[in-house]
Amino acid sequence: MENLTKNTFDNYIATGKVLIDVWADWCGPCKSMIPVLEQLDADQVDLKIGKVDAGEELKLAQSLGVRNIPAFILYQDGKIVDRKTGACDLDSLKDFVN
């Protein structure tokens, strides 16, 4: 998993399947997703996971249309495939990315 900024975001999502997690350190549901995302990262070799801290990268989060966190945006080769908001379990997140 990689922490992304407005300067690294576009290059990170440009190729392959990428899950973006928009989160904030003050968000309880966001914190509950950390072990889920770590397990997903270990299980899914064909998926990159990038994290956008909405507190530090507010303009980037806003440009992505994020209004609620945690927010998950799935990209394929730089294009948005799907969106999901709210905490969830590992199986739900696996279904979302596959």
Active site residues: 27, 30
Within 10 Å of residue 48's Cβ, how many Cβ atoms? 17
Nearest of 51, 48, 32 to residue 40 by alpha carbon: 48
Task: Compute the 3-state secondary structure of the chain and give helix, strand, coil in percent, each to the nearest 5.
Answer: 35, 30, 35
